[in-house]
Structure 1
Amino acid sequence: MTLTELRYIIALQETGHFGKAAERCFVSQPTLSVAVKKLEEELAVSLFERSRGQVTCTPIGEQIIEQSRYVLEQSERIRELAAQGRDPLGSPMALGAIHTVGPYLYPRAIPRIRELAPQMPLYVEENMTAILRGRLRSGKLDAIVIALPFNEPEVVTQTLYDEPFVVLLPGDHPLAAKSHIKHSDLYQQNVLLLGEGHCFRDQVLAACPGLQQHLARSDRLLQSVVEGSSLETLKHMVASKLGISILPLSAAQVGPYGDGMLCTRPFAGTPPTREIALAWRASFPRHQAIDVISQAIKTAHSDYPTT
């Protein structure tokens, strides 16, 4: 059995005609016919039913051809791995990031990736942690930027940076008069958070004791407005004076809103933080590409304002 024979039976199944299949495979019809017959004899099953002017797959032939497609896909993967080994910074890199990191990190990190690896095609996406996890495991993404903790078998993580949380306020809010915000200051406010399923929501609730109970007592109608929203939506809502919010520092820049419309305040004492990390499959062979992504992100993060 050869990969060439597998290509022949796939072409024959798709065209339903020996002559058309031979044309597609750039061989003569007798060559293709002999190869298909040889494969059937080797497997001791009939893959096709032959009638005048028509060729159709047998039930077992359908199954074998479906498996053949998978085998050919995997054989191409072997070629890709070999190419990556020859030039780890010349093959495409697929990078994912959670929604609360991607929009703020990508504009700073991508130019640095380009500087470090100008020949490496880059694909980027944003998604929720659970979806990124699956896409990493399936090989659709090569590396992902997530918040720790992140536990997945056969996946390596590397901490990139720690990021503090800050409180976002309307510029004329009473709490804006304070230089630092205590956790207890939040409990009398309408605190706007991301909806269920967002890891940043869970991180905020874990970092701010008592906030969960406060939200349970607050107006659920208003809270439902922000279910499934983005950090940018939260910023717009704070600008509209619908409440206050807690954001990672990278997302809390208020310049586009104009002077005095929004402001940020740090937490008193040790601020709550999140740990951002890069994750990739332990079997991923392009260690130089991972190093480039890691270095670029760390450099990009170092450019963020610290307050």
Structure 2
Amino acid sequence: MNLRELQYLVALADHRNFRRAAAACLVAQPTLSTQIRKLEEELGVALFERTRRKVMLTPAGGDAVARARRILSEMEGMREAARRLSRPEEGVARLGVFPTLGPYLLPEVMPKVRARFPHLRLLLTEEKSDALVARLREGKLDAAILALPVHEAGLHCEELFEEPFFLAVPRDHPLAARESLRVEELAQHTLMLLEEGHCLRDQALEVCQLAGAGEGSEFRATSLETLRQMVLAGLGVTLMPALAVKGMAAYSDRLHLLRFEDGRPSRRIGLFWRKTSALTPLLRELAGVLRDLPPDLLDPGNEPAPAT
């Protein structure tokens, strides 16, 4: 038994026709037919039920095809791993990012990533943080952009930047007349937060606990954009990370952003990958590109919500 015979087996299972399967494998039909018969003789069982009009898998054939697919997939994975080790910048890298960061960070950094790694195929996945960590652990991702801390002993972290929070309030809110506030002043307000599972929720709860503030129990958003729309509708206040502030000038007549004068609530962002990853040199370079953000993205000032 060899890999070519397994390829013929899978092709015949997919096409259910000897002529089309042979064409897909770029061989003559008699060659494919002979190899399938040899495989059946070696296994001692019929893999296909043949009639004049169609080809059907037998139960033994179905099992053999499933196993052949796994073997061929593993072999392709081995080839891809070898290619990535020899030329990592020309291979594929699977990168994860969490939802309250991805839509705001990726448009800023992807042009730089493409310029630095023009032949790298970057596959992006957006998931909640726990799912990203699980995918990293299982080898389904090569790296993930996550908020610190991440308690996973097998992961290496390159810290990228610290992203401050702003308080977003409706334009008719009493705080809208001010440009800043102290953290402890949050104790006088109830904040709208994201639903369970979002790391931004955990970070916001830490700020609430620090300030003695409460969470609004009647509403939990599924996305950061939903939170923004709820503030715009005048239904409450929330914490907004700095990268999400960009582009809010269009809402300045309905929304106002306040800096924090002390304590400066923030979240730290890092690039994580397995300590054993063969892509470590590439990922260190990628971290350098992701770290190089324009200063005004993390310190947008009060421009998004000018006084009226």
> Same fold, TM exceeding 0.5?
yes
Counting only pairs closer than 5 Å after superposition, residues 147-158 of structure 1 correspond to structure 2 as 147-152=147-152, 154-158=154-158
Name the residue aligned to 1:234.
227
Q: Which deviates more, 107-116 or 88-97?
A: 88-97
What is the match of residue 305 of structure 2?
none
State the partner residue of 2:250: 257
AA paired with 2:143? Answer: A
Please tell me whether the aligned partners of residues 163 and 298 of structure 2 are also in contact (alpha carbons under 8 angstroms): no
Looking at both structures, which has the greater relative contact order when contacts are Cα pairs under 8 Å and sequence separation is at least 6? Answer: 1
1:281 paired to 2:274: yes
Displacement after TM superposition at 1:302 (Å) = 4.2
Matching residue within 258, 266, 271 for 2:264? 271
**CA distance in structure 2 between the aligned counterparts of 1:207 and 1:291, rounded to whole angstroms:** 31
Shift of 1:102: 1.0
- In 2 relative to 1, CA 104–8 (structure 1 residues): closer, same or farther, beyond 3 Å? same
> What is the CA-CA distance between 1:158 and the residue it aligns to?
2.3
State the distance in 2 between where 1:267 and 1:25 align: 65
Counterpart mapping for 1:1-12 below 5 A: 1-12=1-12
1:164-203 matched pairs, under 5 angstroms: 164-178=164-178, 180-203=180-203
**Unmatched tracts of structure 2, length 5 or more:** 302-308
1:63 offset after TM fit, Å? 1.1
Name the counterpart of 1:38.
38
Q: Deviations over 1:188-247 (max 9, x none)?
A: 3342222222221111112321778733xx5x4xx32x431x223322332332221112
Contact 1:10 1:68 in 2 (8 A): yes
Quote the residue 1:243 is aligned against: 236
Instruction: Give RMSD over aligned pairs.
Output: 2.9
Q: In percent, how many aligned pairs have the same letter?
A: 37
Q: List alignment gaps of at least 5 residues for structure 1.
A: none
2-side partners of 1:126 and 1:21: how far apart? 37
Determine if contact 2:169/2:237 at 8 Å carries over to the other structure: yes
The residue number in structure 1 matching 2:76 is: 76
How many matched pairs? 300
Q: How far off is 1:54 after superposition? A: 4.6
TM-score of the two chains, using structure 1 as the length reference: 0.83
SS of residue matched to 2:95: strand
1:96 matched residue in structure 2: 96
Cα 1:119–1:13, aligned 2, differ >3 Å: closer, same or farther? Answer: closer
Deviations 1:36-59 (A, max 9, x none): 233233334432344555543232
Amino acid at match of 1:297: L
In the alignment, is the contact (CA less than 8 A) between 2:129 and 2:199 conserved in 1? yes
Deviations, residues 260-283 of structure 1 (Å, cap 9, x unaligned): 643332334322322211122344
